[in-house]
Each structure stands twice: as C-alpha cells, then as structure tokens.
Structure 1
Amino acid sequence: MFYALLWEAGNLVDLPDKRIGFYNFCLWNETAGELQCLKYKHLQVIGISLPGMALARVCVYACLVFSMFYPIFVAHVKCAGEREGWKVILIILIIKMTGLSAGLGIFLFQTSQWIQLSDFTEGFLALVGTQALLLLQILTATVYLSWDKHTHMSKPFY
C-alpha cells in the first residue's frame, strides 16, 4: 500500500500515453504531441464526478493512515493478551478492508471508460495485494478469536 500510494503517488495507470491515478488524470494529446493533464472543470465535462473521486481518495488514503498506527496497536494488544483488544483489531481490519475496497471501487467506476485491464501498473497490483493480505489478516484474527473462545470455555474453574 505504501508503494502504491506514496512511491507511485497514487497512479494506478502510468503509461506513455496516459497517467491515471487518485491525483492525476492525464491523456495523450495528439495535437500537442504530449501528455496533457486535465483540470477539474475538464474532468466534469467528460463525466468524472469530483466528489466521487474525492471520496475514493479519502477512503484509500484513510486506510494508509490506519496502517501506520496498526502495528503499534497490535503490539500493545499482543503484550497485554486481551481478548477485547483482538476484537478491536478485527474491527480495524474490517474498516481498512471496507475503505480500500470502496475507494478502489469508486475510482474504477469513475475511470473505467479510459482504463483497460492491461493498463494497470504495479501500483494497482500493490493495492489488490494489500486487499488480499487484509482478507488473510481478517481470517487469521477471526480464527484466533474462535480458538481463544473455545479454549477459555473448556478450562475448568478451581
């Protein structure tokens, strides 16, 4: 996620004839013979919703912010060994997964007319990989909570 959103600056398509991302929408201009980045008023003319793109940006980058603080929280919960903390971790993971999915979905919906599947670069693959890893973490936390529940329920009281 850091690679896609910071290193690649949110560009999910970065080709010689087009650069499309959360902050850029540039297409090849035959007349000028160069890549031309469209301004907000031009994006509205071609049917791209500015509030939609802003919402996509907020959803995806909020997931990045959660990711920066997530390891500290996990370390705290792991040291404390609290079951309630693991439930909060699961909720955070679900929020991150939902935000990233919603942001990517809105972005793809808005730009699908100008992007072919073969146009996506490593930034897009990194975000899809992030979704897969988030799904794996959700599964792991769910299994752990289930295991922990059954382990503590089966212990006799003395």
Structure 2
Amino acid sequence: MHAGTRMGLLQQRCTGHLLFKLILLEAAGTVVLMLYALLWEAGNLVNLPDKCIGFYNFCVWNKTAEKLQCLEYKDLQVIGISPLGMVLALVCVYSCLVFSIFYFIFLALFSEEREGWKEIRIVLIIKTTILFGGLVTYLFQISEWIELSDFTGGFLALLGTQALLLLQILTATMYLRWAKHTHLCQSPFTEEALLIGI
C-alpha cells in the first residue's frame, strides 16, 4: 500500500477514534453533573439560608417564626404553583438522568456502524428535549419566588448538563459527516484499527 494512502487511512481512523473518545468524555461529564445536581444537591436549584427550592423542597423564610417554612405539595396550589407541573418537571429531569446512565450501554451497542450513530443522535436529542422541558416547566412554576441571583450549584450543574448534551449532539453530527466523507460502513474502533492506531 502506498505510504501516503496508508497515512491517510490512519489519520481517518484516528479522527473517528478521537470523536468516539470525545463523546464518551462528554457523556461521563453529563452523568457527573446530573448526579451532583440531583443527588448531592438533592435536586435543590436554590439552596440559601433563607430559601431552599428544588424538585423535592419548597422552603421560604417565615418572618414571623424566623425560620424556613417548607410547604407540602398539597399546599403549593394555594400560592399559585401547580403540583402537577412540579411532578411533571421532576419526572422529566430524573428521566434524563436514567437515560444518561444507560446511554453508555446504548453507545456500546450502536456505535459499531454509521447508522447506529444516527440512533445515538436521536437519543441525545430526546434527552436534551426532556431535560430542557423539565427545567422550563419547573422554572415557570417557581418564577415568582426566585431571582436570577438565587440560583446555586444544582441549577448551574443542570445548565452544564444541557450544554454537554448539545456538545454530544454536535459530536455525533461530526462523526456522521466524517463517516460519510470516508465512505466507511464499519466503525474505526475494530481491533485491527485500534492496533494500527497504537
């Protein structure tokens, strides 16, 4: 094989391998951020001494008692917050976490062929939409009770998750364009390709 041709094939395989590694890192970052926001921060988007508002908590400062007063879901409707909307937001956001954890299995099963990457991109779009929908629904419900400066680490982590999901969609799109350009039907991550790349 001509040296230039071999070098070109090696570069193509390395490009595909790097894109795969990149999407794995982005997926890992997504899971870490979501675990931080939803488990470590217990789903709280606002966690301040005088206010604690999240998917499980709605606590505001009671001036009379001089302490945080937490409302139950049944009491939220009295102050104009829909319990159904809160539950819907909760389901959407936590569903995205579940999908993100099982996404690694999906990557392992479907990343072997170019068509599989189309499925991967569809799953990423669904995850992004679910998370965005859950956040918007929740923020719409609590908008009268919070200010932009109130948001703490949990909210920022979910924003970072949204950004990483968009990056994963971009990475999957780049992979599909690369695969179309190189006219490869099989993944560059076969044992032979990896051995050549070493």
Give the gaps of 5 or more residues in structure 1.
154-158
Instruction: Provide the C-alpha distance between the structure 2 equivalents of 1:21 and 1:84, rounded to a whole number of angstroms.
Output: 39
Work out whether residues 96 and 131 of structure 2, in 8 Å CA contact, stay in contact via their aligned partners in 1: yes
- C-alpha RMSD of the superposition: 1.2
Secondary structure of 1:31's counterpart equals coil
2:68 alignment partner in structure 1: 35
1:103 alignment partner in structure 2: 134
Structure 1 residue runs of 4 or more that deviate by more than 6 Å after TM superposition? none
- 1:109-128 paired onto structure 2 within 5 Å: 109-128=140-159
2:99 alignment partner in structure 1: 66
TM-score, L = length of structure 1: 0.91
1:156 alignment partner in structure 2: none
Secondary structure of 1:113's counterpart equals helix
Instruction: Provide the C-alpha distance between the structure 2 equivalents of 1:95 and 1:151, rounded to a whole number of angstroms.
Output: 28
Give the gaps of 5 or more residues in structure 2.
1-33, 185-198
Read off the aligned partner of 2:172 and give its amino acid letter. Answer: A
TM-score, L = length of structure 2: 0.73
Cα displacement string for residues 69-91 of structure 1 (whole angstroms, at most 9, x for unaligned residues)? 1112213334xx21221111111
Deviates more, 1:4-13 or 1:144-153: 144-153
Structure 2 residue aligned with 1:140, among 171, 180, 183?
A: 171
Instruction: Provide the C-alpha distance between the structure 2 equivalents of 1:44 and 1:75, rounded to a whole number of angstroms.
Output: 45
1:130 alignment partner in structure 2: 161
CA deviation after TM superposition for structure 1 residue 145, in Å: 0.8
Aligned length: 151
CA deviation after TM superposition for structure 1 residue 150, in Å: 2.7
Question: Could you say which structure has the higher helix fraction?
Answer: 2
